[in-house]
Amino acid sequence: MNNNLQDDQLNFDIETENEILKLKISAELGGKFFIGENNDAPPEVLNSFLKKVYEVQKSIKVSSPGNNFYELAGKPEIRRFSNPDDPEILTELRKLLKIFEEKNIIFDPSGVKGLYNKYNFFVDFVLLGKCYGLHHPGMITVYPLLEFAPHSWLDMYYEVGDYIDNSNEIISSKEFDPLEACFMNFTAKKNNNLSYRDIYDQRKEIQLIKLQIINVEERKEGADFFCGVVLRVQLNNSEILFEGDLHFHLSRTSENKFEIINCKAL
């Protein structure tokens, strides 16, 4: 047997193996390759790359038994709560989150306000969310809860955020904006005895630093968007964080597009 293969023979063997690897990746894992793709890469480099892709994607497919997070979690029992103050809500939410933490999957709940709302959002939207199998052993993956919100909710969320930002710019320039009336009952985070009403006539710069969904009631013609808001107010010699809840009434302009009609404080 001749072991002294010429370079062109070796390249031919690698190129053949590369084509076989591409076929395996396409047939077994659903990968797609386009005409002319990787043509400039040396066959040896491409061979190493394709082998790595095949090994990693194969391991992901084997380790990802579910199409959604509920299946990935092993279809755990889901409890429903009618009382928002039920002390078992926190226990059940922690139990569900623990299942995913053991799989190096972390969910960031900061986009939703209130324990009861976080739990319902997690059960109704996150668990049914598509699990794309991108969870490698030893690598932590973090998902914001809002990533699983309906598209219409996200459009409302960004519409409201832009509306508050625009109003804050007007207020900071010492001009009148009707939204400021909704801030009057906001209270300071570290001093419940201090309200926005106490400082509204002072020169200040105001900025939205947190917007959280409380609930959304969507209808064919529009929606009611309930949210928690945290504002940073910069006075001459101090900075104060004020928080409160707002209710926005929106009309629908298209399938997932909305326009704000009015707002009131909760």
* Dihedral over Cα of 236, 239, 240, 241: its sign: positive
Q: Which of 129, 148, 167 is the last residue of a domain?
A: 148
Collapse the DSSP code of 122 into the 3-class scheme (helix H, G, I; strand E, B; otherwise coil) and give the result. Answer: helix
Name the token pair of 157: 């969320």
Same domain for 184 and 133:
no
The parent domain of residue 11 ranges over 7-62
Does residue 60 contact residue 30 with C-beta atoms inside 8 Å? no
As a whole number of angstroms, the distance between CA 241 and CA 39 comes to 57
Between CA 239 and CA 232 the distance in angstroms is 7
Instruction: Indicate whether 181 and 249 sit together in one domain.
Output: yes
Out of 108, 130, 148, pick the residue that ends a domain: 148
Task: Tell me the whole-structure pTM to 2 decimals.
Answer: 0.72
Of 115, 148, 181, the residue that ends a domain is 148
Those residues with Cβ within 8 angstroms of residue 204's Cβ, 6 or more apart along the chain or in another chain: 171, 172, 233, 234, 235
**189 and 217 in a common domain:** yes
Residue-wise pLDDT for 186-232, tens only, equals 999 988 899 999 999 999 999 999 999 999 999 999 999 999 999 99
172 occurs within a structural domain: yes
Please state at what angle helix 43-63 crosses helix 7-29, rounded to 10 degrees: 20
H or E element that contains 138 = none
Q: Is residue 53 a part of any domain in this protein? A: yes
Is 80 part of any domain?
A: yes
Domain co-membership, 172 together with 92: no
The answer to whether the beta carbons of residues 31 and 25 sit under 8 Å apart is yes
Q: Is residue 37 part of a domain?
A: yes
Task: Please tell me whether residue 266 adopts helix, strand or coil conformation.
Answer: coil
Do 163 and 245 share a structural domain?
Answer: yes
Together in a domain, 174 and 126: no
Q: Do both 259 and 173 map to the same domain?
A: yes
Q: 84 and 23, same structural domain?
A: no
Q: How many CB atoms lie within 10 A of CB 14?
A: 17
- Pair 135, 216 in one domain: no
pLDDT, tens digit only, all 266 positions of the chain: 455 544 444 445 777 777 777 777 776 655 555 444 445 677 787 778 777 776 766 655 544 445 789 988 899 999 999 999 999 999 999 999 999 998 888 999 999 999 999 999 999 999 988 776 555 556 788 889 998 999 999 999 999 999 999 999 999 999 999 999 999 999 999 888 999 999 999 999 999 999 999 999 999 999 999 999 999 999 988 899 999 999 999 999 988 899 999 999 98
Domain identity same for 195 and 259 = yes
- The reply to whether 165 and 246 lie within a common domain is yes
Q: Is 2 part of any domain?
A: no
What residues does 113 pair with on adjacent strands? none
Integer CA distances (angstroms), 265 to 107, 132, 154, 226, in order? 29, 40, 21, 10
Spatial neighbors of 15 by CB under 8 A, at least 6 apart, are 43
Residue 107 lies in a domain: yes
* Helical segments of the chain, H only: 7-29, 43-63, 69-72, 88-101, 115-121, 151-172
**Residue 163 maps to which CATH number?**
3.10.450
Give the chain's domain count: 3
Residue 1 in any domain: the answer is no
Specify whether 57 is located in the same domain as 85: no
